[in-house]
Amino acid sequence: MSEEKSLNFIEEIIEKDLAEGKHETITTRFPPEPNGYLHIGHAKSICLNFGLAIKYGGSTNLRFDDTNPVTEETEYVESIKEDIKWLGFNWANEFYASDYFEQLYQFAVKLINKGLAYVDDSTSEEIAQQKGSPTIPGVRNKFADRTIDENLQLFTEMRNGKYADGKKVLRAKVDMSSPNMHMRDPILYRIKHAHHHRTGDKWCIYPMYDFAHGQSDSIEKITHSICTLEFIPHRELYNWLIEKLEIFPSHQYEFARLNVTYTVMSKRKLLQLVNEKHVTGWDDPRMPTICGMRRRGYGAAALRDFCDKIGIAKRENLIDIGLLEFCVREELNKIALRRMVVFNPLKITITNFDKDVEFVSIEDNPEDENTTHRQVPFSKEIYIEQDDFMEVPPKKYFRLFPGGKVRLKGAYIIQCDEVVKDNAGNVVELKCTYFPESKSGNDTSGIQVKGTLHWVSIAHAVNAEVRMYDRLFKVENVAEAERDFKDYINPNSLEIINKVYAEPALAKDSFDQRFQFLRKGYFCLDKDSTTDKLIFNRTVTLKDTWAKEVKKVN
């Protein structure tokens, strides 16, 4: 029996619209501007728009809002499509606002003919000045009095390239004293003699967001046009234009954008991180971009689950990055292959082990009832982690210490007999004995131990590089911190361990596999790996209650 999940406010609106017969089905759209890579905030919007259409049997268009040729590039178009597909969604149609340039132009002509738009020769400074302020009404200038014919001719000349950038704009004639600044005769078209990534040099006038977005929605018969809160003031203009143009009445709804602790979400800041080399690129595993998270090893299902868990509302929010990590772990725990890798080796010689090698069988994933097993070589000389031995153990320490016993995962119980030190007094080796009757799976020794350690046979170890990532910023709320965001960059967000020691099975595994390095965390192969050099990214750590315990004492 599963409880009915409550609806968010947009689902309520949709169910009401459907119930009242306002629409037979719904159509949504995801409208990125191709001027950057998608990030986790876009993932929230993608999951919402596509998820709604799936839930209510409608469809979703992918529409590139490419009305500003100077910032947009084909490279971004391709990455956006790849990321959406990877997230697991399919768009009904791939559209571009630039597909509608001719139609949009005709809409503008229609407004001019209705006496609702005029060509203004003022400079941008003059226009800003005449606009007034939220508390001071704006004033209309003489250009607003031009005749329809004059406006028609001027607008045609603008299109034909007669004027230089900035010399003229087309404005809607709305209300210069509106308390909503967006209604004070907003600019509809501006002149830009720039090359567009799709239309080339065909156009030298380009519609503004407000004269492209709602009209594109309408052309595509989008029923629910969902955007973020900062577009609320645009809605009045959105509706005004649809009404005056007498076109399909799409409706705009707004929800709160996603913010996540210890990271930034604005394209401007992300671009800066890339350009100024604070990260290696858009797909740096520390980036909140979808491609960065993908490279880091986050699963698409985990991202979708996260978007589902954070909910949709109109309240400003700051989501704990821990929730994302929880979703990532939850997915990985079910699918990751368990492997043993020693990062910081301490040699152990098992003095009473006389065979060259013994293969022990260890399950690939204990969470899976039908798990496969692998054969792991065990020998006289092995490595364990330096952390897993202490000469003077604190209370509740389950690991190795002089005279103490632990189990080696999947193999035998050993006892530490002797500590070997170098001249400086550092522990360099442990001499241990093993209990032959304690073999994993048929232990008849009766010995109880608290700790189980991961280990690797020295002679059989495979080397690899490991890249461990931490949060990119040192403060929770980067956007609200008083200084420039770059002052808060975490200098230790990347730690590279050049040489770790892995069990041999890891050398045979591949890029689409996910691993849990036992007691270490989840890892995946990085694209920088070559045939003779394995490089792993730490996707996320395991929960570590012992580390927390140690921290509490100190």
Partner RNA sequence: UGGCCUAUAGUAUAAUGGUAGUACGACAGAUUUUGGUUCUGUUUGUCUUGGUUCGAAUCCAGGUAGGCCAACCA
Identify whether 257 is a catalytic site residue. Answer: yes
User: CA gyration radius for the chain?
Assistant: 31
> Per CB under 7 A, which of residues 92..121 are in contact with RNA?
none
Q: CA dist 16 to 7, 24, 124, Å?
A: 12, 12, 44
Using an 8 Å Cβ cutoff, are 292 and 78 in contact?
Answer: no
Q: Is 319 in the site for RNA (CB under 7 A)?
A: yes
Task: Please identify, using beta-carbon distances, which residue of 171 and 467 lies nearer to RNA.
Answer: 171
Of the CA atoms within 13 Å of residue 197, those in its CB half-sphere come to 20
CB of 422 to RNA, least distance (A): 25
Identify whether 391 is a catalytic site residue. Answer: no
Task: Please identify, using beta-carbon distances, which residue of 477 and 533 lies nearer to RNA.
Answer: 477
Identify whether 421 is a catalytic site residue. Answer: no
> Per CB under 7 A, which of residues 465..494 are in contact with RNA?
none
Catalytic entry in 257, 347, 431, 486: 257
Q: Using the rule CB under 7 A, which residue among 124, 156, 344, 351 binds RNA?
A: 124
**d(C-alpha 118, C-alpha 176), whole Å:** 14
Q: Using the rule CB under 7 A, which residue among 92, 323, 427, 462 binds RNA?
A: 323
Q: Is 310 in the site for RNA (CB under 7 A)?
A: yes
Q: Using the rule CB under 7 A, which residue among 169, 237, 478, 500 binds RNA?
A: 169
> Per CB under 7 A, which of residues 188..207 are in contact with RNA?
190-192, 206
Task: Please identify, using beta-carbon distances, which residue of 326 and 494 lies nearer to RNA.
Answer: 326
**d(C-alpha 344, C-alpha 331), whole Å:** 28
- Tokens 């990321």 — which residue? 83
CB of 432 to RNA, least distance (A): 16
Using an 8 Å Cβ cutoff, are 516 and 371 in contact?
Answer: no
What are the CB-based long-range contacts (under 8 Å, 24+) for 413-418? 413/438, 413/443, 413/445, 413/447, 413/449, 414/348, 414/350, 416/389, 417/351
Task: Please identify, using beta-carbon distances, which residue of 441 and 491 lies nearer to RNA.
Answer: 441
Task: Please identify, using beta-carbon distances, which residue of 167 and 373 lies nearer to RNA.
Answer: 167
> Per CB under 7 A, which of residues 407..436 are in contact with RNA?
407, 409-410
Query: x-or-dash pattern for RNA, window 360-389, by CB under 7 A?
Result: -----xxx----------------------
> Per CB under 7 A, which of residues 226..245 are in contact with RNA?
229-234
Helices vs strands, H then E, count in the chain: 13, 25
Q: Using the rule CB under 7 A, which residue among 114, 162, 202, 309 binds RNA?
A: 309
Q: Is 249 in the site for RNA (CB under 7 A)?
A: no
Strand-strand pairing, 117-120 and 169-172: antiparallel
CB of 9 to RNA, least distance (A): 6
Question: Taking Cα atoms as reference points, which of 66, 31, 23 lies closest to residue 48?
Answer: 31
CB atoms closer than 10 angstroms to residue 550: 13
In the structure encoding, which two tokens stand for residue 289, read together?
Answer: 């971009």
Residues annotated as catalytic (active site), given as ranges: 33, 257, 267
